[in-house]
Amino acid sequence: MVGRIPVMDVTPVVDLGRQPAKATLDEPFPVTASVFREGHDKLGAEVVLTDPAGVRRPPVRMTLDPDVPDRWTAWVTPDREGPWTFEVHAWSDPVATWQHAADIKIPADIDTELMFMEGRLLLERVLAAVPATDRATRDLVGSALKATTDTSRPVAARLAVLQSPELRAALVDHPLRDLVTVEGPYAAYADRRRALYGSWYEFFPRSEGATLDPLTGTVTTGTFQTAAKRLDAVADMGFDVVYLPPIHPIGEVNRKGPNNTLTPGPDDVGSPWAIGSKDGGHDAVHPDLGTIDDFDAFVARAGELGIEVALDLALQAAPDHPWVTTNPEWFTTRADGTIAYAENPPKKYQDIYPINFDNDPTGIYAEVLRVVCHWLKHGVRIFRVDNPHTKPLAFWERLLAEVRRIDPGVLFLSEAFTRPAMMHGLGAIGYHQSYTYFTWRTGKQELGDYLLELSHESSHLMRPNLFVNTPDILHAYLQYGGPAAFKVRATVAALGAPSWGVYAGFELFEHVAVKPGSEEYLDSEKYQIRIRDWAAADEQGRTLAPYITKLNALRRAHPALQLLRNVTVHRTDDDAILCFSKTAHIPGAGDDIVIVVVNLDPHATRETMVHLDLAALGLDPHEAFVVHDELTDQTWNWTEHNYVRLDPSVEPAHILTVRSPR
């Protein structure tokens, strides 16, 4: 039933409270509620957290939204990993009610001594609750008590004591709570920091270190050993996670050739997502890549460089996967007796059999859990899951809950480019991160709106990972935008969200599609080995690696860029210039403020006025302040309104850090 003080529409609440809201170690998140009552008496509200050990933390006061009636907010921060709960406590605030009446009545000489008497009774209650060790507060309240009864002093002087900022601050810190109503508890789960913040780099091990014999045209595949040599460059660019597409044996039946053709040659390597052959299934490594010991060495080398390895988890099978023989009931049999292959019309994937999760859900669950635990034993604690939206949510809910029980630090990234309800549903039932629509958001309005949606509207459900490209997605913006377009996309992704990702070749400006109107790469690495001359690109300056390194260095240096729920989009007068900012309060060091102004037009110089929301930045609207451009090393004095001109052939963006008032 509704409490004495109604508390309604509490957020964040996921799936009617059945699932925990997303939280991260040391990441502030907002708790909001509608709190109101009959009449005109004043209210108070606060949030009380209970940590994973069951310890109730000190309450955090909520503040009333100045723009939304009866809407209260408090920001709370979990400081331990694990399951938390929060409650909203609301109460009638007799002190604030009295203060409001006294401020009006006493100066008007209405019930003056009665008002002082009522104030005395309230202050006596406050004083009784102040600890004896808090001498400063006790003395302050004691002096106020004397003022309520000292009729020898002028009324105005007595009232001035009761209106002093010091006393009012003390009364806020020591409230009287009448008619307390408790709403909750509601659940939130605080994951480790990598669930929120990280820079991802994707590469195919078989391409790294691969060689081409110029005389015979024979390609020798890369291996875990040769791919490990690429890790140093990945670490130098500042990446935290290296994501590997499937490393398992690749099916030989219906194998795809170059550019997804159906006529492979004897030396064609096939798609890594067509998992399984006579050499094994999801718990095996492709023999061309090496042995499981070689994989362990790869993971160990990554760890030495501060990089985590994310492994692809693709729940599907090639026609010659061992599962097809041992468990044919896990697949869908068509009317003609054949097993159905995967389709996404007009695309056909004859080399892949999707799993039918309704035929033997218990057996499939047990096998997938076994596979995941197998890779946990080999040092993998992050999984990028291929097309999870084509599998039942109930399956994922059960699997992810059990993996969390086994090791709470294991993370799952959802590769679900699908309807928002499904994307949010996957996040709600346990996925830690999600791919997003970012690759298709290229305009100013849609990008600004999407950054706000991800950071504020859906952050309790899913954490975004803004990949600028994938082996499947080469957007037209990159195909035709030139090097400036690559800078623009990297800037917005790296600075707009705490997690972002790059698929290898992005830094080399790879931009040629298989055909006009397609988002598929020409000579896609999904179907063949791609040999890249990284050294030559570095020597000739044909690489975006230094710029990416700069972005990742800024992300590590600025706590504001490591958070999600702190994006503000600012107004500009040009339809191609986007401005957004991120802020964070650093205890003992003030505020960390980063302002990003980016020209989304990779072909033309644009100029505009930028209109900053200084209140959102926590800056005084009457004072100028110093901004430093981290790209050009220039410094300017800025105010609320600022002129900007950006030439994409020079630098398409300003990345500004606020240093101090002028």
Is 318 in contact with 250 (CB distance < 8 Å)? yes
Cα(97)–Cα(250) distance, integer angstroms: 73
Distinct helix (H) and strand (E) counts, the chain:
16, 31
Residues paired with 310 in a beta bridge: 243, 382
Query: Any residues with CB less than 8 A from the CB of 115 and at least 6 apart, and which?
Result: 98, 101, 102, 105, 106
Cα(384)–Cα(404) distance, integer angstroms: 16
Annotated catalytic residue, options 81, 208, 386, 601: 386
Cα(156)–Cα(103) distance, integer angstroms: 11
Which is nearest to 143 in space by CA: 112, 117, 125, 120? Answer: 120
Count of CB atoms situated within 10 Å of the CB of 84: 23
User: Tokens 């599998």 belong to which residue?
Assistant: 391
How would you write 411-445 as a 3-class SS string?
EEEEECCCCHHHHHHHHHCCCCEECCCHHHCCCHH
Cα separation values, 271 from 16, 145, 200, 305, Å: 41, 80, 22, 29
User: Tokens 């100045």 belong to which residue?
Assistant: 66
Annotated catalytic residue, options 27, 81, 312, 415: 415
Cα separation values, 442 from 171, 214, 493, Å: 51, 41, 11
Residues paired with 586 in a beta bridge: 590
Strands 71-76 and 29-35: antiparallel
Cα(331)–Cα(140) distance, integer angstroms: 76
Q: Which amino acid makes up residue 320?
A: D
Which is nearest to 305 in space by CA: 235, 407, 228? Answer: 235
Residues paired with 467 in a beta bridge: 501
Annotated active-site residue 519? The verdict is: no
Is 11 in contact with 50 (CB distance < 8 Å)? no
Cα(509)–Cα(487) distance, integer angstroms: 10
Which is nearest to 630 in space by CA: 603, 596, 604, 600? Answer: 596
Annotated active-site residue 386? The verdict is: yes
Strands 577-586 and 590-599: antiparallel
Count of CB atoms situated within 10 Å of the CB of 586: 11
Helix or strand holding residue 308 (H, E): strand 308-313
Which is nearest to 606 in space by CA: 641, 572, 655? Answer: 572
Catalytic annotation, residues:
386, 415
